[in-house]
Amino acid sequence: SDFNKIIQEAEEHHINRQCSTCCPFGWVKYERRCFTYQASRMDWASAEKHCLNLGGHLTSIHSEYEYRMIKALIRAHDPEENAAWIGLNGCQKKFNWFWSDGSRLTFTKWNPREPNFVNAECCVHIDWG
């Protein structure tokens, strides 16, 4: 009947609308963003390209809570706590840091004496020091 068809279309529309806010299988949703951890060793540019192929970017971090969640996600996948790239980059101009996803830089949590550009470092990773 027409009524059943209308109900079915409404349910499908509702399901599609809900799923547009879902994360891919195996990803973690935090606030309105989706996160995953990939345990492959690569340089920063290759890691960003890999993330682009997955439909995202290396992570940007905008609060202490996000920072803690991301560290917990990494630790859950890598108990050895290896360093992991994040999307912060300053290779274009010294001390001109930006996120690869284009979001504003509003939060930093540098280790002591960082950034120091030793060995021309200009890409940022989370570590456990």
**Can you give the pLDDT at residue 15?**
46
Q: What is the pLDDT of residues 73-108, one digit of tens each?
A: 998 888 888 889 999 998 877 778 889 999 988 998
**Can you give the pLDDT at residue 31?**
87
Report residue 11 CA to chain centroid gap.
Answer: 32
Beta strand 33-35 with 98-99: parallel, antiparallel or unpaired?
unpaired
8 A C-beta contact, residue 36 and residue 26: yes
The pTM assigned to this predicted structure is 0.76
Look at residues 34, 26, 129, 125 and name the one whose alpha carbon lies nearest to residue 77. Answer: 26
Asked whether residue 95 falls in the same domain as residue 52, the answer is yes
CATH number of domain containing 116 = 3.10.100.10
Asked whether residue 42 falls in the same domain as residue 18, the answer is no
Asked whether residue 19 falls in the same domain as residue 57, the answer is no
Asked whether residue 6 falls in the same domain as residue 59, the answer is no
Asked whether residue 60 falls in the same domain as residue 93, the answer is yes
Asked whether residue 50 falls in the same domain as residue 111, the answer is yes
Domain with 10 in it: 1-27
8 A C-beta contact, residue 90 and residue 96: yes
